[in-house]
Structure 1
Amino acid sequence: MAREASLRVVFGIAVLDLIGFGILIPQLGVYGVRFGASPFAVGLLVAVYSLMQLVAAPIMGRLSDRFGRRPVLLISQVGSLVGYVLFAFAHTLPLLFLSRVIDGVSGGNVSTAQAVVADITKPHERARGMGIIGAAFGLGFVLGPALGGVLGAWGGNLAIGLFAAGLSALNLINTWFFLPETRRADSPSATTRSMRGAAAVLTLPVVGRCVVLVLLYTVAFAQMEGTFSVYLLTRFLSSGPVPLEGGWLVHAVHPDAAVLKEASLRSGALFAVVGVLSALVSLHAPMERQGAVLGAYQASGSLGRIIGPALGGLLFTRLGPTAPYGTGAVLVALGGLLALSLVTQVRMSGAGAEQSS
């Protein structure tokens, strides 16, 4: 069945993309410290990708509504490849920043993949379809950091960057040869501007609360994401010389590996929640605006990944290593309260029944 085949291709594209992303994220703090970055600068290094995404994701979404999903996916994959190659050959902090800027500007993979899922699934299948993207997140953030550790121990940032670039190259091949265009040429968004602005998304029923909720959860998670490697260096490896290659960092804290396992499990739970939210956003967005609305939704996550690492780095520096995690717990609790109100709003709105036609 063509629909199932396309879903499998989208899953493969998302898995490869997110493994590459997952390989790099834990290593940014390691190589940032190696090249002289402070904890706050490490937070900014993690955040700069999302700063670029905040601007680029809604634009990419609108472009995918107008010109199609395949061109946007191909452009974003080329940008990721270039960014990873630059990371591979970086030897200074400015080059690390530049690699993340390039990847962030061009990166529209996830929101565009979600738009593909929305194109090819019916409303009652949407949660299952978006769950595929959520599963890709889970695999990426389980396999990626482990691969990054092994590659870092073996070949440093050169091995990490080139391996991730290879995954982007595979994605280019998959998209070019196996993913047909899913956006209908006669769609209204193919000839007209799809949204007047990302702020208009907040006025859509249900969507606005989903956007705020993903912002809260992402800020909470990104505080840990942006400071965790520095936290390990500070708390567990402060008694002696630290071999900063990613794999050695993980092996050095092996007695406390349960901490890493617990963090991975909680991260997986977060991405499962975010996947459910993306299904709700898609169900309550006009079909001709799927790319733009999902792009704005991803931009909210990008904003969280800007605020989170920077805030985490600042709290880490000013208040101590545990401060980002206490703040994150408070944000998750606030998100839980908002989620309860969201359940009520979804029931009142009919859970996207208006989109079934």
Structure 2
Amino acid sequence: MTRLTVVMLTVFVDSFGFGIVIPFLPLYASSLGASGLEVGLLLATYSLAQMIVAPRWGRLSDRVGRKPIMVIAAAGTCASFVVLGIGDNLALIFGGRALLGCFGVGYSTAQAWVADTTPIEERSRVLALIGASHSVGFALGPALGAVGVMTGGLSAPFWFAAGCAAVSALLAATLLPAAVPQPRTSTAPRLRDFSGNRSFAICLAVSFGLTYAFSNIEATFSLFTSDELAFTPTENGLFFVLIGLCAAATQVLVTRRLARRFPEHICVILGLVLLGAGAASIPFANSGASLIAPMVVLAAGFAITTPSLTAWVSRSAPADRQGEALGLSMSAAAMARIAGPGVGGLMYDELGHG
């Protein structure tokens, strides 16, 4: 088994666990009495914790290597899902989400591993493969989550996700070879060290805007389909399967080809246009069938944008600071997720569902 295959498998299992939970977390919170605003704040709690710790994890992975951080992140994620699984009140659910955010750096560390081991001209295409693994896991997870909900209630997906995180930690610990960290060419890296890098600043701004928009949808999609289209939890899960499969297919069949022909920033622009078109079409859906096309376009746009943006960030950063740069990009995205879900939930409560 090649090193890239091991990383892809680890990312797949990790995202599979997250996919199990995402469609059902807003519904679980609602069952405990949460309002739309509180659902948004619950999602934002994860991102607040992630925003604070991600650059620090990134700097640590630059020093000690990617493997230890991937193992720790997966083990911490397992513990966080256990807390969510036993949660029977909103305070415990908020605490579990915060803990989950503190360890939510496995994917960015895997991306940094790709940056360490892949020539820069090949980076977008390899990152697309990592992204496809992430998308397939995210796609298949909701299907198992739906089965769990039907058989064990709304808390069952958290226990399935905890098991997936434990498997991910085991895979990283036993199969992923240790990598020698890049030698440092400078000391005491901080955000200010990147402040004069215009390309990197643009990447952070795009990461923030992209995630802000997508987190609005993430926070309210299940509520919208339940209230406006009378979807069951199972049907919500199936639509998340659709998003993940479309994203994976796009990354394998489209994004990798685009990366050969166009620079990263052009691919990012194309992806953002598609994502915006899909998102703008969602409120006009009046049935499950009419929702399919907007979700396909949305998924395709996201699948083109994310690996291209990651490759752009990587190209803009020094070789010995790949982990920190990707951690800062994750922090920008996490900052957007703090504002996005809360604003989305509030707008859902105050402005309507359609």
Report the identity percentage: 35
Whole-angstrom distance in 2 between the partners of 1:202 and 1:235? 45
The counterpart of 1:203, out of the listed 196, 209, 212, is: 196
TM-superposition CA deviations, 1:273-323 (whole Å, max 9, x none): 11111011111210011100010011111112222111101111221124x
User: 1:23, 1:164 within 8 Å by CA — same for their partners in 2?
Assistant: yes
| Normalised TM-score (structure 2) | 0.81
Asked if the contact 1:89–1:157 (Cα under 8 Å) also holds between the matched residues in 2, the reply is no
Work out whether residues 153 and 248 of structure 1, in 8 Å CA contact, stay in contact via their aligned partners in 2. Answer: no
Q: Secondary structure at the match of 1:298?
A: helix
Give the distance between the partners of 2:142 and 2:195, measured in 1 at CA. Answer: 34
Q: Distance in 1 between matches of 2:298 and 2:137?
A: 14
Note the alpha carbon deviations across 1:84-143, whole angstroms, 9 max, x for none. 112222211112111111111122101111111111111121112211222123213322
Give 1:257 deviation, angstroms.
5.2
Q: Match for 2:313: what amino acid?
A: V
* Distance in 1 of aligned mates of 2:145 and 2:290: 19
Residue of structure 1 equivalent to 2:229? 236
Specify which of 126, 131, 149 is matched with residue 129 of structure 1.
126
Q: Quote the residue 1:354 is aligned against.
A: none
User: Higher mean Cα deviation, 254-263 or 101-110?
Assistant: 254-263
Residue in 2 aligned with 1:346? none
Q: Which residue is 1:212 aligned to? A: 205
CA distance in 1, matches of 2:172, 2:293: 33
Cα shift at 1:218: 1.1
SS of the equivalent of 1:37 reads coil
Q: Does 1:182 find its partner at 2:179? A: yes
Q: Aligned residue for 2:317?
A: 285
In the alignment, structure 1 residue 224 sits paired with structure 2 residue 221: no
SS for the counterpart of 1:206 is helix
Contact 1:58 1:292 in 2 (8 A): yes
Pairwise mapping of residues 56-75 of structure 1 onto structure 2 (< 5 A)?
Answer: 56-75=53-72
Aligned pairs for 1:3-152 within 5 A: 5-152=2-149
Alpha carbons of structure 1 residues 314 and 168: separation in structure 2 relative to 1, 3 Å? same
Q: Indicate if the aligned counterparts of 1:134 and 1:272 stay in contact, CA closer than 8 A.
A: no
Say if 1:79 and 1:92 are closer, same or farther in 2 by CA, change over 3 A. same
Letter in 1 for 2:327: G
Evaluate the alpha carbon distance shift between residue 312 and residue 271 of structure 1 in structure 2; reply closer, same or farther with a 3 A threshold.
same
Instruction: Indicate the residue corresponding to 1:247 in structure 2.
Output: 234
Once the two structures are TM-superposed, the CA of residue 264 in structure 1 deviates from its matched residue by 5.4
1:147 Cα deviation (Å)? 2.4
Report if the CA contact (8 A) 1:223-1:312 is conserved: yes
Deviation at 1:145, TM superposition (A): 2.4
Change (3 A) 1:254 1:319: closer
Instruction: Tell me the CA shift for residue 261 of structure 1.
Output: 6.6
For 1:196, give the aligned amino acid: R
State the AA in 2 paired with 1:100.
Answer: R
Q: Classify 1:178/1:265 alpha carbon distance in 2 versus 1 (closer, same or farther; 3 Å).
A: farther
On the 8 A contact 1:61/1:292 being kept in 2, the answer is yes
User: Counterpart of 2:190 in structure 1: which amino acid?
Assistant: R
Number of corresponding residues = 309
Deviation at 1:220, TM superposition (A): 0.9
Give 1 or 2 for the bigger CA radius of gyration: 1
In structure 2, distance between residues paired with 1:156 and 1:262 = 30
In the aligned structure 1, how far is the partner of 2:290 from the partner of 2:140? 17
Check 1:260–1:19 CA distance in 2 against 1; reply closer, same or farther (3 A cut).
Answer: farther
Q: Is the 8 A contact 2:28 2:155 kept in 1?
A: no
Distance 2:167 2:32 in 1: 30
- Indicate which of 263, 272, 294 corresponds to 2:304: 272
Q: Which sections of structure 1, spanning at least 5 residues, go unmatched?
A: 323-357
| 8 Å CA contact retained: 1:120, 1:182 | no
The CA distance in 1 between the partners of 2:296 and 2:24, in whole Å, is: 15
Aligned-pair RMSD on alpha carbons?
2.5
TM-score (norm 1): 0.80
Residues 272 and 248 from structure 1, CA distance in 2 versus in 1: closer, same or farther, beyond 3 angstroms? closer
Alpha-carbon offset, residue 183 of structure 1 = 3.4
Structure 2 CA distance, aligned partners of 1:76 and 1:225?
23
Residue 179 (structure 1) shift: 0.8
SS in 2 for 1:20: helix
Equivalent position SS for 2:33 = coil
CA contact (8 A) 1:151 1:247 kept: no
With 46-55 and 199-208 compared, the bigger mean Cα shift is at 199-208
Match for residue 299 of structure 1? 331
